[in-house]
Structure 1
């Protein structure tokens, strides 16, 4: 997969449509396509913004254990992802710590990491690694790629224990920042540097 194809795949995920429907966008320059995808994301996340802001404000009045239960049972992953970018990061971390890795993986697939970076960096590494492991089990490499830029090196290194070389090859073209590939590869243990494809190793 090329970075261009990866960008189309990300756009298709945002719109909830098959990537094949957007094949005509292969002729659009990569940076323009990325900018368009970010604009679409912003429009979707800002839809009904007033209602979401009121829900986020109301969440300050309820105990975190109750909100965590409501997130899983009532809100679901899509609405939880929309609200996550509007709550105070500390409060978001307090709630997320009480959610299961499986549900957090569902939320991650719907989340715009740009809007919730404060929550992401505040989560316990053990929980982040558990979510990454669940995403790897699902082979949801698109979601994994979208969070690589927001994760500390210690989490990335720990993830090498369950992310194979083949998976790394599939994740690399999906990164928004292609320069990040070299950094990720530099964190690999020496015994894996000889096993990854040459184009990934640079």
Structure 2
């Protein structure tokens, strides 16, 4: 990245490590990253090897680097955004909250599942398949495991996300979201979500 910039090549690098640490983000800054996304373990589908929450890692990162830091993982409203900004973040990255919006192509059944789930009801598929790991929780599974049944019985891979998330066949797949989904109670438009976030930040 540094070499490209030295030769006058215009490039903006946004770095989002799979396993964010203070050390690898400092290295990214050193090698020319323009901004970084720091993702906490609260994120949906998070596959980090470190079980470190956003608000544990974020202030350490913002104290260590000068480039803009974008906070991700478990933020669903302006209160979370405000907390991230107080810890030095200059932006926020939200995924789960925008699944439960009018414009999102996810099925209505999946959106309703998100607004009805309790955080403590989520099923953690840790160790089953790396693309579904979200520690803690983070996977809404509608083919509940029976006593003595292997977690491998849940169709979490291949067409599992398409079936549940896009097609609404909740008994045929999984919906991988942040456990913060327990705090989402309405299917809104994207504009309404953004307006709510701004209002909460400003009050």
Question: Which TM-score bucket, shorter chain as reference?
Answer: under 0.3
More helix by share: 1
More strand by share: 2
- TM-score w.r.t. the length of structure 2 is 0.26
User: Relative contact order: is structure 1 or structure 2 higher (C-alpha 8 Å, sep ≥ 6)?
Assistant: 2
- TM-score w.r.t. the length of structure 1 is 0.26
